[in-house]
Structure 1
């Protein structure tokens, strides 16, 4: 299996209980991947044809409805795919992101039977095993802001409350797998929290997935001004600047530098 960070090159590899790749990563736009995963070799040449068919179906359908699944082929040529845009983004950005994701998977992961790509605005994957409906937290990305909060303890308390609400909201039946929360920490400092899930999993599983992502944050991001934990079924994120829609009218601050940790157990 291989993991490739697309926003910047890898600078070190640590071997511990999991394989961890640390990279210096700047926040990426809607058409720049946060990370790409390519794993398992194709079992047949026809499977690559199935990949092309799946990707070509996912792009227009996800662009139109923010979510799509597709399947093609039979036996050892069977491929299943999923694409989803973040529910708060404008429709043109969804279309751009879905198209970029398909190009990335077709190029970077050609010959791979399991491929996934994460963007700020969307997520896309395909596999030679039908993964749809199964919560997947087996592969994780953690992005952490290199800057600490000016009042770390107060910030940490506020951040935990915000993200606990995000996890609870994500698991609600009426949330559609998208949760957004904001809290003011002190004058001029607010915390913006977001959680979202792929629509193939249930609301209950979405809440559990986001809660697991939130639970990882103290392990890597305590006192940090921003953090993201991304799985293949959900993600959780907080920042000190508005990054989700609708924007609250504040001027978006510079995001700063980020480190990325790739957990591949």
Structure 2
């Protein structure tokens, strides 16, 4: 039978163990919100401090902050040209509500720091991307093949790299078929184009995800283009990513998504 002291001591040990397991679990999933890249569109000009554009930007930024962000996607505009502002936010398919809010807040702050006074630009994080523009794009948006970039895992596949690359691409094409058809987010009646999965490839187990922005047509075309871009960056690598503002994909030899 436990004394009150030994029971308290036991509960402390249990609590510490639970915290360590939680930290280990989060670490193993790589649930970070790392900054990835940004572009400042200097050609679209600067706005004046206290001017109409800045006021419209502040109004729209607060509006997005007040949104539930349950679907992980926002495309809104405010104001009239030449001071109209458009914000597009897309959170990763496993990052809704509070996680999406957090990524949005981080992206807005960092955008203002990196693109001080610029009317337009893009910033990418692990769990979201943010577009701020003075241009109101027509809906649905056309696929943007220009504002893209790639990242690869620094580690190489140890054996049979060509076979690994081939099987990885085949698996990604399987996921394209799932991501190309919209899934209705429960109780929101909004669609998301997102797919994630895992597959045994020889001695390895590969994890992958892909996603299209909710306001584009031809999601399949965009994702297949991303797959064709992979050889330029990621042949023989244990992981690779192609990111844009129309669609993106990623694969790794370790889990990196929430369940």
Pick closer, same or farther for the CA change 1:89–1:28 going to 2, 3 Å.
closer
Counterpart of 1:147? 155
Matched-pair contact (CA < 8 Å) for 1:29–1:119: no
Measured on the aligned residues, the alpha-carbon RMSD in Å equals: 2.1
Residues 193-233 of structure 1: CA distance to partner in whole angstroms, max 9, x if unpaired? 1111111123xx22211111111001111111111100111
Deviation at 1:241, TM superposition (A): 0.5
Deviation at 1:170, TM superposition (A): 1.8
SS at match of 2:226: helix
Q: Partners in 2 of 1:67 and 1:212 — Cα distance?
A: 22
Matched-pair contact (CA < 8 Å) for 1:35–1:118: yes
Q: Does 1:201 align with 2:208?
A: no
Larger relative helix fraction: 2
Counterpart of 1:73? 79
Matched-pair contact (CA < 8 Å) for 2:31–2:256: no
Deviation at 1:69, TM superposition (A): 1.9
Q: Does 1:157 align with 2:166?
A: yes
Pick closer, same or farther for the CA change 1:182–1:92 going to 2, 3 Å.
same
Residues 8-61 of structure 1: CA distance to partner in whole angstroms, max 9, x if unpaired? xxxxxxxxxxxxxxxxxxx8922x321121113136642222222222222332
SS at match of 1:113: coil
SS at match of 2:129: strand
Out of 85, 88, 91, which is 1:85 matched to?
Answer: 91
Runs of 4+ in 1 over 4 A off after TM superposition: none
Matched-pair contact (CA < 8 Å) for 2:69–2:96: no
SS at match of 1:74: coil
Matched-pair contact (CA < 8 Å) for 1:118–1:124: yes
Q: Partners in 2 of 1:49 and 1:82 — Cα distance?
A: 18
Whichever of the two has the greater Rg, that structure is 2
Aligned residues: 216
TM-score, reference length from structure 2: 0.76
Out of 117, 122, 127, which is 1:121 matched to?
Answer: 127
Counterpart of 1:261? none
Pick closer, same or farther for the CA change 1:214–1:208 going to 2, 3 Å.
same
Matched-pair contact (CA < 8 Å) for 1:144–1:228: yes
Out of 24, 35, 38, which is 1:36 matched to?
Answer: 38
Question: Which structure 2 residue ranges, 5 or more long, are not aligned?
Answer: 1-29, 185-191
SS at match of 1:214: helix
Deviation at 1:133, TM superposition (A): 2.5
Q: Partners in 2 of 1:130 and 1:92 — Cα distance?
A: 27
Q: Partners in 2 of 1:84 and 1:148 — Cα distance?
A: 30
Question: Which structure 1 residue ranges, 5 or more long, are not aligned?
Answer: 1-26, 247-265
Q: Does 1:54 align with 2:60?
A: yes
Larger relative strand fraction: 1
Counterpart of 1:17? none
Deviation at 1:236, TM superposition (A): 0.9
Out of 160, 177, 193, which is 1:177 matched to?
Answer: 193
TM-score, reference length from structure 1: 0.75
